[in-house]
């Protein structure tokens, strides 16, 4: 074979191999069955060294590369390339709802008894699979004291200002016990509210709380203030009297006008009748004369003046009565609420559930330490000298059908002199075993009982707590004893 022919054939084979290598990336990398199989995980350990291979036999001339070898080389090159990362999804994954808090191992229920004196039954139950040591405390209303306590209970003072009854119990797994107290009534027939809580063995972190209000046996419930019927309201009576006087005046004016027309009509009929005058002659009708133009009669002046006076008196009376009612309904003792645009502010004593736009708040307990008891929480600035910590045990129930966030800066404790402080969030996190209770929203329909810590100065405890779910909520105000 001539040399030129061999060179042309080798060049043709080389060009043919280049075309195959260029077309390989467009072909499917594997069969459908292989593509459906999951890709094995990447191996982090270095692969073992391949066994030694025999050297290829030497060639004396140009090597002809076949199509099969070109495809194998291209496949090996393709498998050696790193896998590109997958593209991000077109739609962001939905945010996960906060996981509900696990149920407490101890539950509490309080029920009043129908008795002449205030009596309560406290049901404490261990729903866990292991024994639990717990401390049960019942807050007594202001001015009352315990006259009878079930076995093991002791009466003491909570923070030096409020009486309480304490039990230390050890509950076996899936067991329950019933505690009882009898109190002195502060006033005959006055309802009394006494909440109770189960705490950990050291008495700092609450498991669960409940509340109940005792009413005297046979006592009628407090009368609800209802609005008077329309016919007993002063503006309606004044307006009705004015309308009645106006209608009476119109009737009198119409009656007098019709009476005058009737007399003139009789005189005209007698003149136009042509009757004889006792046989002395005929009374001929007078020649037609143009009748003078008569002015249209208008209501008398006294009627217009009287109607205007009645209307004016009704308007002035209604405006004065409405303004008096609005002024008398203003509560001068109510604390200001920043941006309270939704709902109506509700106030009540400690232990009573109070509902606002989204949450139902119940303050079960409030205790304050001695001056200088405020500790420095991790990551927080040092409290001022003489400051003390006041811890409130608060129950929060989400009454809406969606999760609701809330913020620590919106929960306030009001001090004497119209001063207030917000929740000490680092101290509150430490009281909740490092859990930030404001980080996650409250799940729909759920209820949590947790401590809130306020760092205050001075010797006087907080007089009022203001709790709210959002900045545009009116919130609730709880009066401290």
Tens-digit pLDDT profile for residues 327-372: 555 444 444 444 446 667 789 999 999 999 899 999 999 988 887 7
Overall average pLDDT of the 66-88 stretch:
46
Q: Give residues with Cβ within 8 angstroms of 160, minimum separation 6.
A: none
What SS3 class is residue 16?
A: helix
Taking alpha carbons only, the member of 308, 304, 313 closest to residue 253 is 304
282 has a pLDDT exceeding 60: no
Lowest mean pLDDT among 17-26, 267-276, 309-318: 267-276
Identify the pLDDT of residue 209. 95
Domain 346-479, what architecture? Sandwich (2.60)
Identify the pLDDT of residue 345. 78
Most confident range (mean pLDDT) of 114-123, 221-230, 341-350 is 114-123
Q: Is 155 within 8 Å of 145 (Cβ atoms)?
A: yes
What CATH number should be reported for the domain whose range is 106-214?
2.60.40.290
Kindly report the pTM of this predicted structure.
0.57
The yes-or-no answer to whether 106-214 and 346-479 have a common fold is: yes
d(CA 281, CA 223): 90
Q: 432 is written with which tokens?
A: 């909740």
Identify the pLDDT of residue 397. 94
Indicate the burial class of 106 (C-beta count within 10 angstroms; 0-12, 13-18, 19 or more).
buried
Cα–Cα distances (Å) from 169 to 7, 175, 220, in that order, read 103, 12, 37
Element (H, E) at 14: helix 3-23
Q: Give residues with Cβ within 8 angstroms of 346, minimum separation 6.
A: 354, 355, 356, 474, 476, 477
Identify the pLDDT of residue 476. 93
392 has a pLDDT exceeding 90: yes
The residue among 64 and 363 whose pLDDT is bigger is 363
376 has a pLDDT exceeding 80: no
Q: 325 is written with which tokens?
A: 């009612």
Confidence at 35, pLDDT banded by 50, 70, 90: very low
The residue among 372 and 394 whose pLDDT is bigger is 394
Share the mean pLDDT of the chain.
Answer: 74
Identify the pLDDT of residue 371. 75
109 has a pLDDT exceeding 80: yes
Residue ranges of domains in the chain: 1-25+65-73, 106-214, 346-479
Q: Which residue has the tokens 């101890």?
A: 106
Overall average pLDDT of the 261-288 stretch:
55
């Amino acid at each position: 074979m001539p040399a030129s022919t061999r060179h042309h054939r080798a060049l043709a084979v080389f060009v043919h191999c280049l075309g195959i290598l260029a077309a390989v990336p467009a072909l499917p990398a594997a069969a459908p069955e292989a593509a459906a199989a999951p890709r094995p995980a990447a191996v982090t350990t270095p692969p073992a060294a391949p066994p030694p291979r025999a050297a290829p036999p030497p060639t004396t001339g140009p090597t002809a590369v076949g199509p099969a070898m070109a495809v194998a080389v291209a496949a090996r090159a393709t498998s050696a390339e790193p896998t590109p990362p997958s593209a991000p999804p077109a739609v962001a994954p939905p945010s996960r709802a906060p996981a509900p808090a696990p149920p407490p191992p101890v539950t509490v229920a309080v029920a009043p008894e129908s008795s002449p004196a205030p009596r309560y039954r406290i049901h404490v139950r261990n729903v866990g699979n292991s024994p639990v040591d717990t401390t049960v405390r019942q807050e007594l209303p202001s001015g009352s004291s315990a006259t009878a306590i079930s076995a093991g209970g002791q009466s003491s003072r909570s923070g030096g200002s409020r009486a309480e009854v304490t039990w230390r119990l050890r509950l076996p797994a899936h067991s329950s016990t019933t505690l009882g107290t009898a109190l002195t009534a502060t006033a005959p027939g006055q309802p009394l509210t006494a909440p109770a809580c189960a705490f950990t063995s050291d008495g700092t972190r609450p498991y669960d709380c409940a509340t109940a209000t005792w009413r005297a046996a046979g006592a009628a419930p407090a009368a609800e203030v209802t609005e008077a019927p329309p016919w007993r309201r002063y503006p309606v009576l004044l307006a009705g009297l004015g309308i009645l006087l106006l209608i009476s005046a119109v009737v009198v004016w119409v009656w007098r006008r019709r009476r005058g027309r009737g007399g003139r009509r009789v005189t005209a009929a007698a003149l136009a009748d042509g009757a004889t005058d006792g046989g002395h002659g005929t009374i001929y009708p007078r020649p037609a004369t143009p009748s003078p133009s008569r002015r249209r009669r208008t209501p008398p002046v006294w009627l217009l003046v009287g109607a205007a006076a009645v209307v004016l008196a009704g308007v002035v009376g209604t405006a004065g009565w409405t303004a008096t009612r609005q002024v008398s309904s203003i509560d001068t003792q109510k604390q200001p609420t920043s941006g309270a645009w939704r709902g109506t502010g509700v106030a009540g004593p400690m232990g009573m559930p109070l509902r606002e736009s989204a949450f139902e708040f119940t303050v079960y307990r409030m205790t304050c330490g001695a001056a200088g008891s405020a500790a420095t929480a991790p990551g927080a600035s040092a409290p001022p000298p003489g400051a003390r910590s006041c811890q409130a045990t608060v129950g929060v129930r989400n009454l809406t059908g969606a999760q609701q966030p809330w913020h620590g800066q919106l929960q306030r404790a009001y001090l004497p002199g119209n001063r207030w402080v917000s929740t000490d969030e680092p101290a509150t996190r430490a009281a909740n075993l490092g859990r930030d209770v404001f980080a996650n929203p409250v799940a729909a329909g759920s209820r949590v009982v947790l401590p809130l810590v306020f760092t205050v100065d001075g010797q006087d405890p907080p007089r009022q707590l203001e709790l709210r779910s959002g900045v545009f909520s009116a919130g609730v105000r709880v009066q401290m004893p």
